[in-house]
Structure 1
C-alpha cells in the first residue's frame, strides 16, 4: 500500500478513517450505478409509434444498459478534486457541482440526480489531468486512489494551492507498472498533461501523433475517440467513429478499452476489412508500386477511357410519333458530363439528359410530358442502347483487370506517370481469363477501392482513428481519407517502427494523402511503459532506421530490466527463461522470427501456451508471437529469440527488431545462438 501524503489541513485526520469514508462513497456510487442500470432496463421501447421506431429505440436502450455495466475489478472512480473555497464566486457556470468532485470512468448520480462521480471527459474533470501548483485551476487538493482488484486500498494527496512542485506519484507509477494479462487496459487514471491535450483536441481538428514506444499513443487515440463521443454524442451517433488497426490480433488486444469507458458502439477493423480481404501473393516491388499515389491518376484515366465518342443519335418512338436527337447533340451531352461527376452518377445523368432532349422535342410538337414520361424515356430501349454503347456499366474489377492485362491500355492510361520499366512490372505475366477469375493482392484492394470511389462516392465517417499509420501505402491512405472526407482523424504511429517496403518517412506526406493536410503533428517522446534501460538499448537502432527522430526517454529507470543471454542451444535456454518469467506475475510474450515460431512452440511443449496468429484473439498468459505480429502489443515479460534472424527476414528488418525490443513493460530477455546485429553489440 502506498504511503499517504497528507495535505496540511487534513494531517490530523486518521488515514484509516479517510479510507473508510472513501470506501463508503465507492459503495454508494456502485449502488447508484446499479440503480441507473436497472432503471434503463425497465424502460420499454413499446412507447415508440411504429415497429421501426421501436427497434431503433430498443437498440439505443440496449446500448445504454451495456454502457452502465459495472465491472467489479475496474475502479468506478480513481480521483478526487477538492475545490478552493475562495473560488466560490467563479462557480456560476458549474451548476450544482459540489465542492468535492470524484472523477471516474462514467457519470453516476443518485436518485435526486446529484452527481456522485463525474465522467473523466467532462470539462470540470480536465483539472484532474492539468492542474499543478503553478496553475491550480481553482483546486486546493487532488487525491488519487489505489486499488487492488476492485477494492480501494490506498490514497495519495497532492496539495495544489501551496506553490512548489509536485512529487512523483507512487500510486500513478504503480498503476503504470501494474502487471497486465490479457487485453489492453484503459489509461484514464494515468493520462499525462501532454496526452490530455491530444485527447481533448476539438472534433474538427485532425491530430497526428508521432509516438515513441511506450508513450501511450494507441491509448491516447482510443481515449480521444471516447472523449469525442462524449462531447459530440448526437453528431457522431449519426456519422460514426471507426478504429483502424494493423491486424486482428491488435484489434483483439485493444477491444476492451472503449467498452470499459462506456463506449460500446464503435466499429473496429483493419485496412483489409475496409477495402477488401484480398491476399494473393505478390512481389513486394509490385506491391510497393501499386501503393504509390501516382496510381490514382492512372486509374482515373483507365476508368474514363471506357467512354467512347457517340457515332449515332437517339431515335425514340412513342405511339405513332418518332423523336430524334442527332449524334452531334449526343456528343455535346456526353462531353458536358464527362469529368464533372463520378462515373456511375454520370451514366445515370446521361440517360436523363438524353430523355430530356427527347421531351424538348415533344414539347415543340405541342405535347405536355411530365417527369414520369421523362423517366420512361430514360429507361427505354433506344436510350439504354446508346448509354451502354457510349458509357458502359463497369465494376472496379473489370477496369483493373483490363489495366493489368493489356499493355497498350496501361500505356495509354499511365501516360508519363509510369516509366516503361514500371509498366512492365505491373503487367500480369499470365493474365486470368476474366476479371471474375482474377486473384487480387492486398495492394490491389486499395486500387479497387479507388476505382469504386471514382464510380460511386464512398460514405464518410465523423471520425477515424488510424493506428500504425506509418506502415500504410499512399493508396491505402487515400482509401482511409475517403472515409473521413467530411470528418476528422486521429493518426497514430512511429516513423521508427515502419516495417513495410512503402513505410513513410514524413507525417506531412501521410496527412496529405489522407486528405487532411491541415492536421497538426505532435510528438510524444516521454515514455511511461517501457523501462529506460530497455528503451536505451533499442534506441541504438534509431540512427539506422529513423535518424531524424529524437531518442525516446522513459520515466522508469528499470535497472535490471534487460538481460542479453548467448546460448549454445536455444531450446533449453528458452525453457529456462520462460520458467523464470512464470515465477513472477504478469503476461509473457515470447517473440520469435516467423520461421522459427514452430520450433519455439515445440520447445515450450511442456508448458501451457498459445501461438498468436493474425486471426486469433488469444489472451493466454504465455504467448508465442511471430515478430511480424508484435507491433502494438505489450507484455510484462518479453523474451526475444534470435534477433539477427529477425533482421535478416525482411528488407526493413532493423525496424522490425526495434518494434520487437520495445514490447516489454517490466523485463526483456534476449536469447541468441548466433551473433547479435552490429548495432547491439
Structure 2
C-alpha cells in the first residue's frame, strides 16, 4: 500500500463518529416505534365516550399526553448521559417508557425530570457521577450527528455541549423561536429549575436566552407541579408580534395550559384605541392610583339613611341605624358589587322581619277582640286540612302564627319583587368600571379629591386627553373592575382551560411569566399580582433595555411597589446570540444610557465585523432598500430586520414592502441573522433613546450594518 493510499483512509475519530450515529439512529428508531404505539393506544382509549367525572378527568390527562407525544416529532431524543457505572440514559422532549413500564428502563427521560438534570449541570470539576455527555442532532426521525463531551477534564470549555450549542446558534433564523431544551446552559438551567414560591426576577442582557429560559421554566414548572396545570400559567409579552414569535415553543415542549397575552389585552372586551404621550402614560402608571381607586370606589357606596319600602301596598321604614349595621357587615372585605349583593339580601331579611312583625301585631289585635270568632274558625279549619290547602292559606291564616315555611316563602317573594328591587337599585346602583374611570379622569374636582398627589399641570394634561382608551388606562380599568367586582356571579364553564381563563378578567393563575418585565409600570405590576395572589411569578428582562416612560432604572425601583423587598434576583451573564464583534460596540452605549452594568460576555464570534455606510437624507429609503437586498442575498434562508427611529418607519416601510421594519421598542425580544440599523443617532435622540439603541444594536446573530444620515454641505 502506498503512502497516497494511506492518506485517503478515514481516521479513527471519523469511524467512531459514524458508528455513534448508527447507534443513536437505532435508539431513535426504537423510541419512535414506541411513541407511535403509545399514540395508537391513546387514540383507541380517547375514542371511548366518558361515562363519569373520573373518566372525564382521565380523558383530559390522556389528551394532554397525546399532545405532548405528537409535538415531540422534532427532538424526541437530543441527548445522552453515560454514567461512571456504565449505565446509559437518553434524554428528549418527553418521556418514553419501555415496553413494560413496570420492569423496563425508560427509553427516553423527559428533560424536565430530576434524573436529567446532570445533562445541564455536570462539569469536569463536578461530573455528578457522569463520564460523558452526548448531544444528538436530529431532523425529525433522522440522526444527523453527535457531539461527545467527556467529563474527565480532557476538554476545557465553560459551555455545555459547545459544539451543539454553536451549531444551533449558527443556524438561519426563521422568524419563529425554537425550543432549546437540547442546548440549555448551566446558569439557564438553574433559573429554569428554581423554586416556584415567590417572585423571581431574572436580569439578563441581550442574547442571554431570557425568553428561552422563561418558556422552558413554564414547561418545567407544569411538569413538576401538577396543581399549576389545573390553574394555568399566564405568559405576558411586550407585544402581539412577540407572542406570535414564541407561539410554537410551549406546544413543542408539550405544554398547552397556557394563556399568552400582553398587558393591553388582559381585560376582556377592552382594547387600546389611541396613542398617548409618554408624559401622561408615566403619570397614569404610578402606584398611587391603586390607593386612589380604592378610596374612590369606597366613596361610591351609599351612606346610611332611613330606607322606605312598599310591600303589598303597605309602607315600611328601615331606620338608618339598621341600615348602617347592614352596610358595615356587607362591605367588610368585599368588592362594591359583592357588598351590594350581600346588603340586598340583608335588606330582604330586614323587610321580611318587618312584614312578619306587622302581620303578627295585626293578628294579635284581632285575636284580642275576636277570640270567640277565631276559636270557631280555628275549629272549623282543624276539621278540614284540605280546605286550608285548597285556599292557599298560610299558618297565620289558620292559627295566627307564621311558620318557618311561611316566612321563607315571604322572603323569597320579597327578594324577587320588582318594586323592592327598583328602590334598592336606585339607592345603590350597579356601576361600570369604564364609565366610572371616564367620570374620574374627566372631572377636575374628583381628581383633586382622590388623587391629590397630582400637580395642576399633571391634572390638566389628563383632562385634555381625547376620547378612547390608551394603554396606560387598561390597568386603571382593571383596578376599578376588581374593586367594583362583577355585578353578575359565576363564569363560563367547560371548554379548554386556556379559553376559560382568557375569557375571565378575574381568573387566578398558578404562575405568571413576564418577558421584557422592565417595561411594566407600577400599575401593570398590580394587574399581574391580581392574577397571581400567591406571587408565584417569574419576571425576565434587562433593566438596561427599558424604554417605557416610567422613571425606574433598577429592578429594586421597578418592583418595590409590588413586592417590597420580598423578591429574589437571578442573573444571566453569558450572551449566546449576539456575536463578539457586535457586543464590543455596546459598552459606550450602556454608559450613555446611565447604566452601571457590564454587558454580558459573548461566547461566539461570527467572523463578520460590523460595517457602516453614510447617506444623505434624500437617499435614505433607496440606499436602505439596496443594502437590504444585499443582506437578504447573503442570508438566504434566514431573516433580515430593519430598525429605525419611529419617525422614519413609514417611509422605510413604503420603500421596503414585505420586509420587517420596526422601531427599537417593537424589535425588543426579536432576532434576525442580519440587522440593518438606520439612523442610530435618531434612535439615540428618542426618549430613553440610548436604551433603545442598545436594543437595536443587539438583534443580529451574524451581521450588523449601520446606515448613518449625514447632512449635505452646500
Normalising by structure 1, report the TM-score. Answer: 0.85
**Cα–Cα, structure 1 residues 284 and 440, in superposed 2: closer, same or farther, change >3 Å?**
same
2:73 is aligned with 1:21: no
Deviation at 1:552, TM superposition (A): 2.1
Q: What SS class does the counterpart of residue 182 from structure 2 fall into?
A: coil
1:96 corresponds to:
none
What number of residue pairs does the alignment pair up? 626
For residues 290 and 166 of structure 1, do their structure 2 counterparts lie closer, same or farther at Cα, with a shift above 3 Å needed? closer
The higher radius of gyration belongs to 2
Aligned twin of 1:248? 240
Return closer, same or farther for 1:35/1:664 CA change in 2, 3 Å cut-off.
same
1:308 aligns with 302
Which residue, 142, 145, 149 being the options, matches 1:154? 145
Is residue 108 from structure 1 mapped to residue 96 from structure 2 by the alignment? yes
- Aligned-pair distance for 1:254? 0.5
Alignment of 1:279-358 (within 5 A): 279-315=273-309, 317=311, 324-338=317-331, 340-358=333-351
Q: Does 1:528 align with 2:516?
A: no
1:181-211 alpha-carbon deviations (Å, 9 max, x no partner): 1301112111111111110112223211111
Judged with a 3 Å threshold, the aligned counterparts in structure 2 of structure 1 residues 380 and 76 are, in CA distance, closer, same or farther, namely same
Q: How does 1:456-605 map to 2 (within 5 A)?
A: 456=485, 458-486=506-534, 488-502=536-550, 504-515=552-563, 518-568=566-616, 569-570=619-620, 571-572=622-623, 574-585=625-636, 586-604=638-656
Distance 1:655 1:500 in 2: 10
Give the superposition deviation at 1:126: 0.5
Distance 1:668-1:136 versus aligned 2 partners, 3 A rule: same
CA drift of 1:394 comes to 0.7
Q: Are the structure 2 counterparts of residues 280 and 167 from structure 1 closer, same or farther at C-alpha, using a change threshold of 3 Å?
A: closer
Q: Any residues of structure 2 matched to 1:604-615 within 5 Å, and which?
A: 604=656, 610-611=658-659
Say whether 1:397 aligns with 2:434. yes
1:246-285 alignment runs, 5 A limit: 246-275=238-267, 276-285=270-279
Aligned 8 A contact 1:105 1:261 in 2: yes
Q: 2:696 aligns with which of 644, 656, 660?
A: 660
Give 1:451 deviation, angstroms: 0.3
Structure 2 vs 1, CA of residues 516 and 224 (structure 1 numbering), >3 Å: closer, same or farther?
farther
SS in 2 for 1:69: helix
Pairwise mapping of residues 356-375 of structure 1 onto structure 2 (< 5 A)?
A: 356-361=349-354, 365=360, 367-369=402-404, 373-375=410-412
In structure 2, C-alpha distance between the alignment counterparts of 1:424 and 1:155, rounded to whole Å: 66
Residue 446 of structure 1 is matched in structure 2 by 475
SS of the residue aligned with 1:236? helix
Would the alpha carbon gap of residues 418 and 376 (structure 1) be closer, same or farther in structure 2, given more than 3 Å must change? farther
Q: 1:309 to 1:572 in 2, by over 3 A?
A: closer
- Within the candidate set 598, 623, 628, 2:665 is matched to 628
Q: Distance in 2 between matches of 1:390 and 1:485?
A: 33
Partners in 1 of 2:14 and 2:68 — Cα distance?
A: 40
Moved more, 497-506 or 590-599: 590-599
Distance 1:225 1:516 in 2: 25
Segment of structure 1 superposing worse, 405-414 or 192-201: 405-414
Question: Bigger CA drift: 30-39 or 459-468?
Answer: 30-39
Alignment partner of 2:266: what SS?
A: helix
1:639 aligned partner? 676
3-state DSSP of counterpart to 2:340: helix
Shift of the 31–514 alpha-carbon distance from structure 1 to 2, 3 Å rule, reads farther
Q: 1:43 to 1:313 in 2, by over 3 A?
A: same
Shift in Å, 1:562? 1.4
Q: CA deviation at 1:58?
A: 5.7
Change (3 A) 1:516 1:345: farther
Once the two structures are TM-superposed, the CA of residue 66 in structure 1 deviates from its matched residue by 2.6
Judge which range, 378-387 or 201-210, deviates more. Answer: 378-387
1:136-155 map, 5 Å: 136-147=127-138, 151-155=142-146
1:69-102, Cα deviation, whole Å (9 max, x unpaired)? 1565x3322211112229xxxxxxxxxxxx2100
CA distance in 2, matches of 1:626, 1:421: 30
Tell me which residue corresponds to 1:129.
120
Structure 1 residue 478, shift from structure 2 partner: 0.7
Alpha-carbon distance in structure 2 between the residues aligned to 1:417 and 1:456: 26
* Residue matched to 1:418: 454
TM-score by length of 2: 0.81
Task: Measure how far apart 1:18 and its partner are.
Answer: 2.2
Classify 1:523/1:597 alpha carbon distance in 2 versus 1 (closer, same or farther; 3 Å): same
CA-based RMSD of the aligned residues comes to 2.9
Q: Distance in 2 between matches of 1:426 and 1:285?
A: 10
Residues of 2 paired with 1:134 and 1:381: CA distance? 79
Q: SS state of the match for residue 107, structure 2?
A: strand
